[in-house]
Amino acid sequence: MLFNSYEFLIGFLPLCLALTCAARRFGRLPALSILVLVSLGFYALWEAQYILLLLSSIFFNYLMGNLVHATRLRAVVLSGVLVNLAILGYFKYRIFFGELSGLHSAEALVVPLGISFYTFHQISFLIDVNRKNISPRGFSEYLLYVTFFPQLIAGPIVRFTEVIGQFKTASAFTPRAINFAVGFTMIAAGLFKKQILADTFAGYARPVFALAETSASVTMIESWTGILAYTLQIYFDFSGYSDMALGIARIFGIRLPVNFNSPYKATSIIDFWRRWHISLSRFLRDYLYVVIGGNRGGRIRRYINVMIVMLLGGLWHGADWTFVLWGGMHGGMLLINHAWRDLGGGKARHLRIPPAFAWFITFLGVMLAWTLFRAESVHGALNLWQGMLGINGRMALHDVDKQTLGDLGPILEAIGFHWINAEQVSRAFPTQTTFLWFAAGLFICLGLPNTQAWLRRYRPACSLVYGDLDARSVADFVSISLRWRPTVPWALLTAAMLIYAIFHFGNTSEFIYWQF
């Protein structure tokens, strides 16, 4: 059951909300129990055959957490983490590593839904218990922590400390008008991003990447169009999911951690990873990077640790070489970024990069890396990169645009472009409408505040440092009268976004991160 489906929005979510509100009249624990049951039902509607795996994982990790708390033995927490990784590795990577060892298999890789996320939730729980950050009391709260359906399938990766206090308060799960207003506004915004923006850009990206997987060469304009389209698609897809996950949780009175903070405004790769999939970045930092040595051991050791983390982060996204190379590419860019800072880039005036240029090279690097993330093979990614550079020798433009370009046409001809007619144009070739969508998408990414900043007065998330969330753009761009409030005009706008997005459910697709 997709978040962006009639079954969820008109059936499951209202029923779940009604049952929780009714149960809350009898106390906090009845409401919590209902949320656990509907969350398990949500998962079972997807993959009933793996519900026992999910429950077994929960019982095992809760018992291990209590054992870690009682013994404080490093061997106990290590064994718990290794069991979790072994289960994850078996279901997600057995075929990949089998092929590496020469054991080819005709078996199709079926990965239990959400296993990457609920495994990471529970690894963080065990390590935090060992670090004395939490105590594993309250099995019902732990059960909801792992299974809570807004986060269960695709995150964010939540820490037990971030929600246990919310679960245990006397007012937990109590219906409140402000929670409904904020929550449904975020749901509407996220659904609009997914259905209208992300899926539109997917339509431009899909034929280009399909063409790249064939032996045909891809033109320069096709390559740039396809890669930019996917860059915008994954932005709005993940931003939309993040908004919906936080919004759904909020209508039940729960604040999840912010997971997305305008990453395309980043002026360095380091800054990008502080803004993109924030909960994954901090998990890799706190539970992998720190464990393998972090900044200890000198500069070279730190660089090695960064690369190890990024390679494993890439592999976490998928059991394929394209994901490993994507992680390695980001690791390489991070090393360059750290090396520049170590040389004094942040202090020496002659080494400083102008902000506009820093943004451009960061955005370009992210775009190039997304090619590997989206491509079905390394061959497809290389084909697109060659096309971007004009190596394929087909620097072509549609002849219907010749008059529109005016004086720019002869300049493009002088640097190697040529004109092709309608009979030569592939289905991947862009139109003028494509570029209008690109302009709108880039304006939203770069010129507007994100949802958390727009709603910041009402604290849409927990673990949120509001000073880092576009504080300047909120103050400069959004006047006081235009900041979100629970008023009739904003309610009408929310309803309009929601209805318009629902009318586009005919071509509904899964969120990209539901694959991981």
CA distance 29 to 439: 50
Among the listed residues 277, 317, 330, 398, the single catalytic one is 317
**Residue 317: active-site member:** yes
CB distance 36 to 44 below 8 Å: no
Helices and strands of the chain, counted as H and E runs: 24, 2
For residue 255, what are its two tokens?
């604040």
- Please tell me the distance from the alpha carbon of residue 379 to that of residue 381, in angstroms, as a whole number: 5
d(CA 92, CA 111): 6
Residue type, 303: Y
How far apart are alpha carbons 516 and 514 in whole angstroms? 6
Q: Pairing relation of β-strands 418-420 and 396-398?
A: parallel
Contact between residue 302 and residue 338 where contact means Cβ atoms under 8 Å apart:
yes
Written in H, E and C, the secondary structure of 345-389 is CCCCHHHCCCHHHHHHHHHHHHHHHHHHHHCCCHHHHHHHHHHHH
H helix runs in 171-320, sequence order: 177-192, 199-212, 220-251, 269-273, 278-284, 299-317
Residue 402 · residue 409 · CB < 8 Å = yes
Q: How far apart are CA 111 and CA 106, in angstroms?
A: 15
Residue numbers annotated as active site: 317
